[in-house]
Amino acid sequence: MANSGLQILGFSLACLGWIGFIVCTAIPQWKMSSFSGDAIITAQATYEGLWMSCVMQSTGQMQCKTFDSLLKLDSATQATRALMICGILAGFFALCIGAVGLKCLTCLQDDEVKKAKVGIVGGILFIIAGLCVLIATSWYGNKIAREFYNAFTPSNSKYEFGPALFIGWAGAAMAILGGALLCCNCPKNETSYPPPRGYNKNAASAPKDYV
């Protein structure tokens, strides 16, 4: 079985990745306005996320507005929202299940095989959560890149990758790596219960002395 240090390292990495999922989903900097055109207005910068769009003035003041209607959003943004929420929920369940499977905790301490299997389930859920976030952020980033290199997109309407995408990619990598380390906790074939005592046939068949 994997040692406790490797297991704790994997669990810690996966937890940090899950926190990154939440931060990535909440902040509005999924894409930011690009200043690659000839006529550039640098007095303000525009940011757009999954839930709101923001405008930052040169003075540092930021004004944000949430999206009015879910149905007005494009299908890519809606799918990205769904994948990010699925990743956060899967990471939450992985956090709860993986904690039970840690060797440093006393839960299920009487059966090491069952405890190891619970840890593997938590690792698999962390990997699934990381894949959900990785697909969501990569899909959204591909959309930004296609619009940026589209010749019909005006220069003042082009966007670049925002900090949220990099946080999502880093969090997904940490969750997948941490889940893989938890899955290295392979259970043994036998349980940790003490073996039953053998039956002594000679003692049973020996004659008894009666007084």
In whole angstroms, give the CA distance from residue 35 to residue 40. 6
Identify the CATH class of 4-37+44-56+74-189. mainly alpha
Query: Which pTM was predicted?
Result: 0.79
Q: What is the pLDDT of residue 54?
A: 87
How confident is residue 37, by pLDDT bands cut at 50, 70 and 90? Answer: low
User: What distances in angstroms separate CA 57 from CA 33, 36, 37, one per listed residue?
Assistant: 13, 18, 19
Which of the 8 DSSP states describes residue 85? H
Q: What are the sequence ranges of the domains in the chain? A: 4-37+44-56+74-189
Specify the higher pLDDT residue, 36 or 127. Answer: 127
pLDDT digits 0-9 by tens, 186-209: 665 544 445 455 555 554 555 555
Angle of helix 163-183 relative to helix 4-26, nearest 10 degrees, comes to 150
In whole angstroms, give the CA distance from residue 147 to residue 156. 12
Q: What is the pLDDT of residue 211?
A: 43
Please state the φ and ψ torsions of residue 120, each to the nearest 5 degrees.
Answer: -65, -40
| Element of type H or E holding 70 | none
Provide the token pair at 121: 């389930």
